[in-house]
Structure 1
Amino acid sequence: MGGTTLYSIGELSRRTGLSVKTIRFYSDANVVAPTCRTPAGYRLYDLDALLRLELVRTLRELGIDLPTIQQVLDRERSVAEVASAHADALDVQIRTLQLRRSVLRAAARFGSSPKETKLMHKLTRLSGEERHRLIDDFIDRTFGAESADPSAAMVRAATPDLPDDPSTDQVAAWVGIAEMIGDEYFRARMRRVAGHQSHQLTLDIETDAGDELVGFTRQRLAEARSAGIDPLSDEAAPVVDDLVRRFAEAFGRAPDAEFRDWMAQQFELAHDPRVDEYWRLVWTVNDWQVIPNLIPVYTWLIQALRRDR
């Protein structure tokens, strides 16, 4: 062998950090064959074998399988090519693990039942393309396939896009959206409300009530929301009773249950609590900043008017 330095399997183990058993396995699998053997049959390895073993150890620690490593050693594939492919594969695994972590945190935080946890897991496992297809199908079934209606364009422009590493709130919001869009009753409500919102139509009740009363109403409702008053609580009653009285006077009617129901119906033409909840969930999934003056204040009033029902 001339001046070539040869290493015993024990020396190779000390230099590479691999066990003798592992080196013997690689040798038997012909991944790194011995350079030669002693008269007694002991394996000897040269510097090239040492370098090959160090490369094998590095690639194995990075999670690359032996058949692929063999292709690298045989120069059938480059290290760069293999590294790129495995990095892409790891990206997929990382995204999967991140989603699983988010589902588990959401289940723990919201006290989800086994059924709810299973649903969350199923919905978050969908690919981004599959999630977009769900929303596209919802829009097509709500407004008609390939609709040119501005309402459809408005909803489509705000397609919820769950990130790769969602927060627990984003997971819960996405599940809420998925449950909503499968409901035909909700689609009908979205169709009605989105039409008013996209065309920025003024409600008849606003026109007939006048700017002064409408401005006062918006201010009172905004104050109630800011104060954290639940529209279904007793604390909301004085606010609602006062507004009902003012509107009844403006329309020359009695502020009774029938009038309250009529008021709710008028505001529901453009402001539906379920539809507003959909938009809130979309903001959460997309991590958009909530702009207070864009939050429909009439939703609070509708819920308060419907309290007895």
Structure 2
Amino acid sequence: MAMSYDGLWGIGELAERAGVSVKTVRFYSDSGLLPEAGRSAGGHRRYDAGALERLRMIRSLRRMDLPLPVVRRVLEEENTPGRTGGALEDAVAGQLRALGSQVRALRWKEAALRSVQECRPAERADRLRLIAAVAVPPSTAPLARFWRAWLPPRMPAGSVTAFLDIAVPQPPEDPQPEQVLAFAGLNALVTGDCGGSAPTQPAAHRAADARASTVLYAGLAEAYELAGTEMRLGRRPGPGEALDGFVDAYASARIAADTPAFRRELLRQLAADPRIDRYWELTAELTGVPGDPPEPTPGSAHDWLVAALDAEAGTVQPA
């Protein structure tokens, strides 16, 4: 279809060339996204050749689900000399992030449904309720709140963040049904859906001040890492660098000497402290690869070190 004698198209001509409805062209015109070149003597809208390219750009941006305000910013930048296309780049990056979140949510929902499908019929209602209590995509905020309430109130923010990085497991991008179930169990555990309240912080972990708590948890993190290496090698709990670092963390926090008597008292206190083994069991199920041996967690490393302390105590005569 050729242009009219004045080099302009009517709204119907533009719609036909762009492959859209007249209603669509009118909507974008009324929104200010598609300027008119003028009006005919009868008051009809007229558009030039640039309107066709602009309309095609609008349609391309809308097909990417970009909202009208974003489309407007992209078009304004396109018509501004010297601009570098940052609006379009930001829009594409934002859509990619949103799409990634949607893909993660769909993967999570698929694994959740498979978890319900694969369990026994009598268990499906309870499992569905357990899994449905988890946000999609899953959020670790309830786990972080649990640990923030559990940690010493005087603990510096940086030390809290470092501990949370270790203690709060991240949901896998492409989970298996058993991993969805493990995360749902963690969510229920920390929100009280399992019928229990948050455990009391172990007495051995209660530091006197901010300095002591920082020293204690930094030392424990190093000891857990060393113990994890021993566990991956299949070594039984016993004396060594990991155990020495573990004891030193408590001794340094309390400004005490690492003596056989201190170790015996520490063992007694640790043995009497409350435990949250279920949290760490579920963490191992969540972060591990199905079919492979479970990766060490801070909880399992702690148990290994307490067992090492106990094994050492059995070989040391009282002072």
TM-score by length of 2: 0.51
In the alignment, is the contact (CA less than 8 A) between 2:66 and 2:95 conserved in 1?
A: yes
Residue matched to 1:81: 90
Matched-pair contact (CA < 8 Å) for 1:59–1:69? yes
Aligned position for 2:133: 122
Distance 1:176 1:78, change over 3 A: closer
Structure 2 residue identity aligned to 1:25: F
Q: RMSD across aligned C-alpha pairs, in angstroms?
A: 4.7
Which residue type is aligned with residue 109 of structure 1?
E
Q: Measured at CA, do residues 3 and 114 of structure 1 come closer, stay the same or move farther in structure 2, by a change above 3 Å?
A: same
Structure 1 residues 44 and 281, CA, compared in 2 at 3 Å: closer, same or farther?
same
Partner of residue 109 from structure 2, selected from 72, 93, 100: 100
Q: CA deviation at 1:16?
A: 1.7
Q: Provide the residue aligned with 2:25 in structure 1.
A: 23
Give the Cα–Cα distance (whole angstroms) in 2 for the partners of residues 14 and 170 of structure 1.
53
Q: 2:134 touches 2:184 (CA, 8 Å); kept in 1?
A: yes
Structure 2 CA distance for partners of 1:32 and 1:285, relative to 1, 3 Å: same
The answer for unaligned runs of 5 or more in structure 2 is: 81-85, 156-161, 205-223, 228-235, 239-270, 301-319
The gaps in structure 1 that reach 5 residues or longer are 147-152, 193-197, 203-268, 297-309
Question: 1:69 corresponds to which residue?
Answer: 71
CA contact (8 A) 2:143 2:168 kept: yes
Report sequence identity in percent. 27
Displacement of 1:19: 1.3
Match of 1:177 in 2: 186
Deviation at 1:101, TM superposition (A): 3.3
Cα distance 1:159–1:82, how it changes in 2: closer, same or farther (>3 A)?
Answer: closer
Instruction: Give the C-alpha shift of residue 158 in structure 1.
Output: 6.2
Name the residue aligned to 1:47: 49
1:137: Cα distance to partner?
A: 4.9
Query: Displacement, 1:184?
Result: 6.0
Using the TM superposition, give the Cα deviation of residue 124 of structure 1 relative to its aligned residue in structure 2, in angstroms: 4.0
Question: In proportion to residue count, which structure has more helix?
Answer: 1
- Secondary structure of 1:74's match? helix
User: CA offsets, 1:120-149, max 9 Å, x none?
Assistant: 2322447544154156358649xx996xxx
CA shift for structure 1 position 20: 1.6
Relative to structure 2, which stretch is displaced further, 80-89 or 61-70? 80-89
Secondary structure of the residue aligned to 2:46 is strand
Map 1:100-249 onto structure 2 (within 5 A).
Answer: 100-110=109-119, 111=121, 113-114=124-125, 116-125=127-136, 128-134=139-145, 136-137=147-148, 140=151, 157=166, 159-180=168-189
Q: Which secondary structure state, in structure 2, belongs to the residue aligned with residue 44 of structure 1?
A: strand
Structure possessing the higher radius of gyration over alpha carbons: 1
Which residue identity is paired with 1:101? E
**Higher mean Cα deviation, 179-188 or 130-139?**
179-188
**CA distance in structure 1 between the partners assigned to 2:65 and 2:92 by the alignment:** 10
Q: TM-score, normalised by structure 1?
A: 0.52
Question: Contact 2:10 / 2:45 at 8 angstroms: preserved in 1?
Answer: yes
Quick one: distance in 2 between partners of 1:171 and 1:2? Answer: 63
CA–CA distance in 2 between the matches of 1:15 and 1:31? 18
Matched residue type, 2:286: V
Letter in 2 for 1:84: A
Q: How many residues align structurally?
A: 218
Local SS of the residue matching 1:78: helix
Change (3 A) 1:154 1:50: closer
